[in-house]
Amino acid sequence: MNAGSGRQSFPGISSDRNRDMKKEKDKKKPWGGRFTGALSGTAERISASVHFDARLWRQDIRGSMAHAKMLARIGILSERELADILAGLADIGREIEQGAFRFSDSLEDVHMNIESALTERIGDAGRKLHTARSRNDQVALDMRLYIRDEAAGVRGLLAALVGTLTDLAEKNIDLIMPGYTHLQIAQPVRFSHHMLAYAWGLLRDMERLDAAVRACGQMPLGAGALAGLNYPVDREFVREELGFDGIVPNSMDAVSDRDFMLDFLHFASVCGVRLSRFCEELVLWSSAEFGFIRLGDSVTTGSSIMPQKRNPDIAELIRGKSGRLVGDLVALLTVLKGLPMTYNRDLQEDKERLFDAVDTIRLALSGMIEMLSTMELRGDAMKNAVYGNFSTATDIADYLARKGVPFRKSHEIVGRIVRSCEERGTDFFSLTAEDLREFSPDFGDDIAEMLDPERSVDRKASVGSTSRKEVLGQIERIRRILT
């Protein structure tokens, strides 16, 4: 019943929710004292989140353990009770890990499932665990812990992708290709320069991810439901225990804030959109018209009707999945918009968006690494494209400018040369210095090398350009950042 997007399934969550609902109707809600009637089946289905938030079990148990230790420190739990709680929670964790734990929909969420299982096992000590805590600060804690945990894996994938691009750049340092603006051939560039353009963007994504993790650095537990607690809780102890940098200073902010999630979703959207643009290029490059690359068999599919087809489905799907990431961000922004202080149940809708973004960005990054590390480069096709399409026109204009012709004039002269070549259906290479002098007397015999795209890339003299020296410099810098 992985409703929505959760890819990870949880042991013990049945695929038949309705049947579960009936069987578990009698599971007692913790607020039972206040009510005589039960929640309707529909309401229970709207309310339940355990089928997706069970994913938070590790963080929930870790948070509860820290909370219990704190309660013992301030004398609310005896040492015996603390020991029972810690052992009980560890037990539950092991069971969940092994797939032997049964989550119940009627207990709504992961928090109540774990607490109720604990009480079933250890009795009244379990009933004391929720002293000085609300699910509002509990869930705010779990989500922060979850992002911090997941970010490490995502960061590793980002680094691996940047590493893949850097390797590709190094291995193909002298491969040239057309550089485009408006998808029209503009100037010759190194293939490696093009790859590193993405690498730098991904390194910025990594900074955005790190910023999102920093936004999870303040510990919310101790806020209670919203106003703080009637107990002298030791928030500093819990902070230290869970490795946070600080404590959320305002209890109302602690339970209502989801900025840290928006930050992660923003990271994932920006990164996803970048991968989407990259995929668009892979799709174009693998077409017959470009023919710059051949994607590996492991990331292409055939057609059920057209035997000759090799479709770049994985690139297309990563491009398509970026829509989910943008959607996840917009969905949470929309949930938050209009919510008054402090906790509102709408906030439960944050989880599937975040989980989906975590799964999607991980999958997209892994797919990119696989596509890039298995693709074949078709250097000849790149070379043909760059030689046949006047890609060195700017170099020729600059040549004349260096001879003293005002740039606007040299631009015009080269424009006329291109037009005349086009009319005759040829390219620059059909022209001798003699021919060129008909357009301008300033062309010397040294013009031949200006026509050559391979020479063009190394004529670039500016910092950050596509010259061999500059690109090698980038590779070195990126490698240093990665270590």
- Active-site residue numbers? 182, 303
User: Can you tell me the distance from the alpha carbon of 265 to that of 259, in angstroms, rounded to the nearest whole number?
Assistant: 10
**Cβ nearer to ligand ARG, comparing 175 with 339:** 339
Binding region for ligand ARG (CB under 6 A) out of 176-184, 192-200, 295-303, 342-350: 342-350
Write down the residue that tokens 């910025």 correspond to: 204
**Cβ nearer to ligand ARG, comparing 21 with 414:** 21
Cβ pair 159, 206 in contact under 8 A: yes
Query: Is 140 one of the binding residues for ligand ARG (CB under 6 A)?
Result: no
**Cβ nearer to ligand ARG, comparing 54 with 347:** 347
Query: Is 61 one of the binding residues for ligand ARG (CB under 6 A)?
Result: no
Q: Which of 59, 348, 389, 466 binds ligand ARG (CB under 6 A)?
A: 348
Give the strand pairing for 176-181 and 184-190: antiparallel
User: Can you tell me the distance from the alpha carbon of 224 to that of 216, in angstroms, rounded to the nearest whole number?
Assistant: 18
Binding region for ligand ARG (CB under 6 A) out of 132-140, 166-174, 203-211, 364-372: 132-140
Nearest distance from residue 461's CB to ligand ARG, in Å?
Answer: 58
Query: Is 398 one of the binding residues for ligand ARG (CB under 6 A)?
Result: no
User: Can you tell me the distance from the alpha carbon of 132 to that of 138, in angstroms, rounded to the nearest whole number?
Assistant: 11
Query: Is 109 one of the binding residues for ligand ARG (CB under 6 A)?
Result: yes
Nearest distance from residue 338's CB to ligand ARG, in Å?
Answer: 17
CB atoms within 10 A of CB 16: 9
- Pick from 453, 439, 314, 456: which is nearest to 387 by CA? 453
Cβ pair 168, 195 in contact under 8 A: yes
Tokens of 84: 């029972």
Nearest distance from residue 53's CB to ligand ARG, in Å?
Answer: 6
Write down the residue that tokens 């009627």 correspond to: 106
User: Can you tell me the distance from the alpha carbon of 112 to that of 107, in angstroms, rounded to the nearest whole number?
Assistant: 6
Binding region for ligand ARG (CB under 6 A) out of 343-351, 384-392, 421-429, 469-477: 343-351
Q: Which of 136, 218, 286, 474 binds ligand ARG (CB under 6 A)?
A: 136
How far lies 173's CA from each of 188, 189, 367, in Å?
14, 11, 24
**Cβ nearer to ligand ARG, comparing 136 with 166:** 136
Nearest distance from residue 93's CB to ligand ARG, in Å?
Answer: 19
Query: Is 286 one of the binding residues for ligand ARG (CB under 6 A)?
Result: no
Residue 351, phi then psi, degrees to nearest 5: -70, -50
Query: Is 114 one of the binding residues for ligand ARG (CB under 6 A)?
Result: no
Tokens of 248: 């959320």
SS3 of 179, please?
strand
Query: Is 144 one of the binding residues for ligand ARG (CB under 6 A)?
Result: no
Residue 427: CB partners within 8 Å, gap ≥ 6? 387, 388, 389, 390, 421
**Cβ nearer to ligand ARG, comparing 139 with 450:** 139
Q: Which of 345, 409, 419, 424 binds ligand ARG (CB under 6 A)?
A: 345
**Cβ nearer to ligand ARG, comparing 216 with 417:** 216
Nearest distance from residue 168's CB to ligand ARG, in Å?
Answer: 43
Beta bridge partners, 475, equal none
SS3 of 197, please?
helix
**Cβ nearer to ligand ARG, comparing 53 with 205:** 53
Binding region for ligand ARG (CB under 6 A) out of 97-105, 148-156, 345-353, 370-378: 345-353
Of residues 1-60, those binding ligand ARG (CB under 6 A): 49, 53
- Residue 81's Cβ-side half-sphere holds a number of Cα atoms within 13 Å equal to 21
- Whether residue 36 is preceded by a cis peptide bond, meaning omega within 30 degrees of 0, is no
- Pick from 140, 103, 119: which is nearest to 30 by CA? 119
Query: Is 92 one of the binding residues for ligand ARG (CB under 6 A)?
Result: no
Residue 301: CB partners within 8 Å, gap ≥ 6? 310, 311, 313
Query: Is 274 one of the binding residues for ligand ARG (CB under 6 A)?
Result: no
Nearest distance from residue 136's CB to ligand ARG, in Å?
Answer: 5
Binding region for ligand ARG (CB under 6 A) out of 201-209, 213-221, 340-348, 378-386: 340-348
Nearest distance from residue 257's CB to ligand ARG, in Å?
Answer: 13
SS3 of 441, please?
coil
* Footprint on this chain of ligand ARG (rule: CB under 6 A): 49, 53, 109, 135-136, 139, 343, 345, 347-348
